[in-house]
């Protein structure tokens, strides 16, 4: 079972040599990532000791960034330390390669993407058969 940390415990890891952050109720040890983080190390160090979900989310981190999280996962944040809005629903829990923000494509978009090429194909076929008949 995953280890559960309080925010105070996570906050003890707030140095360049030992840096943990919490995002969406999960705890990540980003020490080895500090020098690689495209947003810089200072911003990660400043994000220690608090729930950094809003900051992480505001940046609009890419799918790749979300996928990287898994690599640094060390445990769960004690639920009472997570603002309710930042508790992930089971549907949004990390799964490799999935955009955890849960921004799913609208069903309507899928239908349109399927129908439009079909309609175009139909028009072309109808046009070709009409012109070859005449």
Question: Based on CB atoms, which residue is closest to ligand HEM, 55 or 76?
Answer: 55
Helix (H) or strand (E) holding 26: strand 26-29
Least CB distance from residue 108 to ligand HEM, whole Å?
27
Q: Which residue do the tokens 């608090």 mark? A: 50
Least CB distance from residue 96 to ligand HEM, whole Å?
14
CA 67 centroid distance within chain: 7
Phi-psi category of residue 82: left, alpha or beta, with phi > 0 → left and psi -120 to 50 → alpha: beta
Could you say whether residue 55 binds ligand HEM (CB under 6 A)? yes
Number of residues interacting with ligand HEM: please give it, by CB under 6 A.
20
Q: Which stretch binds ligand HEM (CB under 6 A): 4-12, 50-58, 97-105, 118-126?
A: 50-58
């Amino acid at each position: 079972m995953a280890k559960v940390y309080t925010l105070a415990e996570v906050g003890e890891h707030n140095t360049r040599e030992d840096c943990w952050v919490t995002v969406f109720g999960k705890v990540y040890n980003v020490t080895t990532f500090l020098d690689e983080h495209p947003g810089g190390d200072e911003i990660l160090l400043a994000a220690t000791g608090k729930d950094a979900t809003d900051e992480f989310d505001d940046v609009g981190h890419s799918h790749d960034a979300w996928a990287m999280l898994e690599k640094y996962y060390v445990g769960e944040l004690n639920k009472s330390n997570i603002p309710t809005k930042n508790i992930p629903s089971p549907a949004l829990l990390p799964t490799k390669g999935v955009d955890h923000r849960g921004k799913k494509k609208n069903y309507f978009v899928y239908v349109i993407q399927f129908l439009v090429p079909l309609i175009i194909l139909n028009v072309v076929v109808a046009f070709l058969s009409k012109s070859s008949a005449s």
